[in-house]
Amino acid sequence: MPSSKSSGGDSKRGFASMDQAKQREIASKGGKAAHEKGTAHEFDSEEAREAGRKGGEASHGGGKGGSSSNRGGSSGQHAKAGSQSHKNH
C-alpha cells in the first residue's frame, strides 16, 4: 500500500533536508539577530570550563554513573592508582 510518509531519513522537507551550507547560513543569521537583540547567551570562562568538563565526562565515560563494566574513574584516581602500582616495581 503506497504511503506519503517516508520510512527512514530521506525526507525532503525541513531544515535537516537542506545542505549544510544553507543550514549554516540560516543558523548564523539567527545567532546574529539574537546578539543584536541582546537575548543571546554569552559564556563566561567559568561556564565554558564547566561545559567542557561535562562534555569530557560524557564522551569519555567519566562521571559518577554506575556501570560496573566501565573502567572509568577521574584523572586523579588514575594518577593515584598509577603511582601506587609503580611502588611495587
pTM (predicted TM-score)? 0.36
Burial 19-30 (b: 16+ CB within 10 A, else e): eeeeeeeeeeee
- 20 phi/psi in degrees, rounded to 5: -60, -35
Residue 68 has pLDDT above 50, yes or no: no
On the 0-12 / 13-18 / 19+ scale of CB atoms within 10 A, 62 is middle
Residue 45 has pLDDT above 80, yes or no: yes
Q: What is the pLDDT of residues 1-17, one digit of tens each?
A: 544 454 455 667 888 89
What's the pLDDT at 23? 92
What's the pLDDT at 12? 74
